[in-house]
Chain A
């Protein structure tokens, strides 16, 4: 950050750990983390739809927590650790992603990266989630193709798989 934290700047330098790598960018103050990822850092796996926190297409994990990247400024991510769908998929398709495919959860697919991020966080925080808990926890992620039943099935199967692996 700048040496005088009280002096506001319209161009903000940002340094963060992105999917395990250190990256830097200088961005306008109003630029969201979502736009920074897509436009400045060239990572387009995180999708934009509503741009106001309603759809979850832009879900990422910031310091291990699920957030809507359209509601976080790029500047706020300075010093943080960010995991995006590209990071999740770094070593190929994960068990969870495989279950998405097997359950027929992928229609147009544009909401899916966000769904995967939200589901991944859910599996980590509540590995034994019931069907209703899954539905509730995932309700911030819209799918207009309405793959909802398929996604619930995929999460349940992935959770079951992780339990037997554990």
Chain B
């Protein structure tokens, strides 16, 4: 239930009778989630389902010599044992920007965990036992597991050049590269008083959703297929299945149960084409439920090495910033090239810099293919840029807040220059000042502690298409059809709030339909915190469409001139006064009843030639401030305070804004302090599973934590909102790093800043110091 307090000002919109936008409306689907009734993929029962298990080899790079399936075939319950030779030849490859990922490992294994054989059996146990019995003869090859190995002149190629025909880079392990530059190199030399040059590392981390995920494929009577997968982009999956197996889109139905955590890890298809093949081949419903370990081997954030060189005037103004940014993207492209281009586009941060030069590369290695992950490349590059600013501040004896004040752009000022410049779409100084105020920046730091403040930006979506349909039913209830998948950000709650206000319908009488390509109109994707803006506008437009239709039919039914009528959120204004839209609708529909159907589309065209495909529709901006206490002997870090402030435009649901901000901020502590995937010399993941891959727990949250928003109602979304939900993670590392450096007197340049790294840094600093 909404609580009593009034929401923020409506930015010029007329407040309807049930103004719920801006209120703490409880999460849609919340009751099912607290009672355990919510059905995630693995909770759905399928009659007569067969089960799938994979077999692979324990190394990251190998040639497959022979596969002996006979021991598995002979085992109880086994229906099929399939490997590359059993698929139509050549084995199809798929992917968004590069069609490089084979449906199943073909002749070679390119990363630890890549499925080589798929077993279909009557029960999960039988499938697993048979998968264990498969014998894969392989020859381990010298894989490339790190950047230096991958970029060495004689490096083994992760992808055969034939996978990337016609690509200039196909004889290297560089998948793609991009360069951003502006300013004149000759002009700044004299003005730089201090130059800082260093190298920073950001680890490979994995999403670790509490629902590891899975896939179910059901063959249909018409030769088509239904695929159940908790994907963030059902339409992309539909298209992939249709293309790989040459089935018309109309016969590929994707049902996307709400993901139990996505964070970017459940966007793109991986094993779905294979499971679909198994279902088509066996004629059985095929079900794969992933283990957490398998999820680790399916999704991760790209690691990154950044070499940066930055100039400052004596007053701390940035003069230039140069970066070589190398993303460790893994064995297949997935969306990594875009992570690289987008993350490095904003690599120089929201600052006023006369000259910038960023060279970024997406580098292939024999590791799990990396994909989208909250922040999408921005946290990686931001770690280096923010650390450079702090190093500059230290060298110049400047306060790091002051350093940011001097360089952060003002509203509408360009922070990316050159042909495709970008200007600040928010009043970002307000967020910075608020974060400083909340952490008590001007009060002295308690002894033994250190403080850091950091900012981050991330471009929102640059192109997009969301379509929505809304139905206003005769009894005053309503339905919205919106493809956005609700993975935790609570998208449907927002649609409900919009409908409630725009149509004047009770929250309880609204149903949202999503996650089924047979029922819901097209939505490009749920990513880049786009949904509130794009789908939100589409839903809003659909509601307005309904009000237009109600007005028209009401005019006809009551023989009133349309010009004498107008509508407002939740209302139809008639010559004798305003009536509720529902009442107007009932009058208009009359005895035959029926319903109103509204449509809304929100489309953002790209810009030809733009490195991102178009201007970002908005920027997520965040300022984070952190205070830590460091045990200088063990290196252990205690977070005493953690503050984040986001520039959100408008809070449509303050409860969800807090959840998202805290969630992102705490997730950011993961890569800052403890998370990293570790590989051995055979490319095996050493910490495969929950025991040794550490993520933050209740006890790892700061003793005091506070999130806040700046609301200027200046976003492109409904009621002036912007996308949120990634912001608070963008600069966590920068703030933690600065706070630790402040406490120990020396920066740590490699993430995560584990106790061991802090200890090592202090020890090395002591060795280096002259005394």
| CB <8 Å contact, A139 and B697 | yes
| Stretch in A1-9, A73-81, A104-112 touching the partner | A104-112
Given contacts A51-B291, A89-B36, contact A110 B698 (CB under 8 A): no
Instruction: Give the residue name and chain of the A residue nearest to B123 (CB).
Output: A39
List chain A residues, Cβ under 8 A from B45: 42
Q: Which residue of B27, B32, B211, B259 is within 8 Å of A49 (Cβ)?
A: B211
Q: Cα distance A104–B490 when bound, in Å?
A: 10
| CB <8 Å contact, A57 and B33 | no
Verify if A149 is at the interface (C-beta below 8 Å from B): yes
| CB <8 Å contact, B211 and A47 | yes
List chain A residues, Cβ under 8 A from B690: 49-50, 52, 54-55, 142
Total contacts A-B at CB 8 Å: 169
List chain A residues, Cβ under 8 A from B656: 104
Shortest Cβ gap from B343 to chain A (Å): 22
Instruction: Give the residue name and chain of the A residue nearest to B262 (CB).
Output: A108
Instruction: Give the residue name and chain of the A residue nearest to B654 (CB).
Output: A104
| CB <8 Å contact, A139 and B662 | no
Q: Which residue of A42, A102, A109, A139 is within 8 Å of B260 (Cβ)?
A: A109
Verify if B145 is at the interface (C-beta below 8 Å from A): no
| CB <8 Å contact, B698 and A106 | no
Chain B residues 460-500 with CB under 8 Å of chain A are 487-490
Contact bitstring A128-147, B, C-beta under 8 A = 1, else 0: 00000011101111111111
7 A-B pairs within 8 Å (CB atoms) are namely A52-B691, A85-B35, A104-B656, A106-B30, A144-B263, A144-B695, A150-B659
Q: Which residue of B31, B210, B489 is within 8 Å of A47 (Cβ)?
A: B210
Verify if B344 is at the interface (C-beta below 8 Å from A): no
| CB <8 Å contact, A148 and B666 | yes
Q: Which residue of B125, B695, B701 is within 8 Å of A149 (Cβ)?
A: B701
| CB <8 Å contact, B42 and A48 | yes
Shortest Cβ gap from B287 to chain A (Å): 11
Q: Cα distance A135–B35 when bound, in Å?
A: 22
Contact bitstring B14-43, A, C-beta under 8 A = 1, else 0: 000000000010110111111111111011
Chain B residues 127-154 with CB under 8 Å of chain A are none
Q: Cα distance A136–B699 when bound, in Å?
A: 6
Instruction: Give the residue name and chain of the B residue nearest to A100 (CB).
Output: B34
Instruction: Give the residue name and chain of the A residue nearest to B260 (CB).
Output: A110
| CB <8 Å contact, B35 and A104 | no
Shortest Cβ gap from B91 to chain A (Å): 31
Q: Cα distance A123–B660 when bound, in Å?
A: 26
Could you tell me which A residues sit within 8 Å of B by CB distance?
Answer: 28, 38-39, 42, 44-52, 54-55, 57, 84-86, 88-89, 93, 97, 100-102, 104-113, 116, 134-136, 138-152
| CB <8 Å contact, A101 and B31 | yes
Could you tell me which B residues sit within 8 Å of A by CB distance?
Answer: 24, 26-27, 29-40, 42-43, 45, 124-125, 207-212, 258-263, 291-292, 487-490, 655-656, 658-660, 662-667, 689-691, 695-699, 701, 705
Shortest Cβ gap from B39 to chain A (Å): 7
| CB <8 Å contact, B34 and A97 | yes
List chain B residues, Cβ under 8 A from A93: 31, 34-35
| CB <8 Å contact, B210 and A106 | no
| CB <8 Å contact, A143 and B35 | no
Q: Which residue of B34, B487, B691, B705 is within 8 Å of A116 (Cβ)?
A: B34
Q: Cα distance A105–B656 when bound, in Å?
A: 9
Not counting A106-B27, A107-B261, a sample of 8 additional A-B residue pairs whose C-beta atoms are within 8 angstroms of each other reads A44-B39, A52-B690, A89-B35, A109-B34, A139-B697, A145-B488, A146-B667, A148-B696
| CB <8 Å contact, B701 and A54 | no
Q: Which residue of A39, A50, A144 is within 8 Å of B689 (Cβ)?
A: A50
Q: Cα distance A104–B701 when bound, in Å?
A: 17
Shortest Cβ gap from A59 to chain B (Å): 11
Q: Cα distance A49–B488 when bound, in Å?
A: 17
| CB <8 Å contact, A147 and B659 | yes
| CB <8 Å contact, A107 and B34 | no
| CB <8 Å contact, B36 and A84 | yes
Q: Which residue of B26, B260, B666, B705 is within 8 Å of A101 (Cβ)?
A: B26
Q: Cα distance A139–B697 when bound, in Å?
A: 6
Q: Cα distance A144–B265 when bound, in Å?
A: 13
| CB <8 Å contact, B35 and A108 | no
| CB <8 Å contact, A145 and B261 | yes
List chain A residues, Cβ under 8 A from B125: 28
Q: Cα distance A36–B635 when bound, in Å?
A: 44
Shortest Cβ gap from B691 to chain A (Å): 6
Most B C-beta atoms less than 10 A away, residue of A47, A109, A150: A109
Q: Which residue of B31, B655, B701 is within 8 Å of A148 (Cβ)?
A: B701
Q: Cα distance A135–B261 when bound, in Å?
A: 22
| CB <8 Å contact, A44 and B699 | no
Q: Which residue of B33, B261, B667 is within 8 Å of A106 (Cβ)?
A: B33
Q: Cα distance A28–B76 when bound, in Å?
A: 15
The 7 A-B pairs of least Cβ separation, nearest first, read A45-B36, A109-B33, A110-B260, A108-B488, A85-B36, A146-B666, A54-B690
Most A C-beta atoms less than 10 A away, residue of B24, B36, B40: B36
List chain A residues, Cβ under 8 A from B208: 144
| CB <8 Å contact, A108 and B260 | yes
Q: Cα distance A102–B1 when bound, in Å?
A: 8
Instruction: Give the residue name and chain of the A residue nearest to B35 (CB).
Output: A89
| CB <8 Å contact, B26 and A110 | no
Instruction: Give the residue name and chain of the A residue nearest to B207 (CB).
Output: A144
Q: Which residue of A42, A104, A110, A136 is within 8 Å of B27 (Cβ)?
A: A104
Instruction: Give the residue name and chain of the B residue nearest to A136 (CB).
Output: B699
List chain A residues, Cβ under 8 A from B207: 144
Shortest Cβ gap from A34 to chain B (Å): 12
Q: Cα distance A93–B1 when bound, in Å?
A: 14
Instruction: Give the residue name and chain of the A residue nearest to B667 (CB).
Output: A146
Q: Which residue of A39, A113, A144 is within 8 Å of B209 (Cβ)?
A: A144
| CB <8 Å contact, B260 and A47 | yes
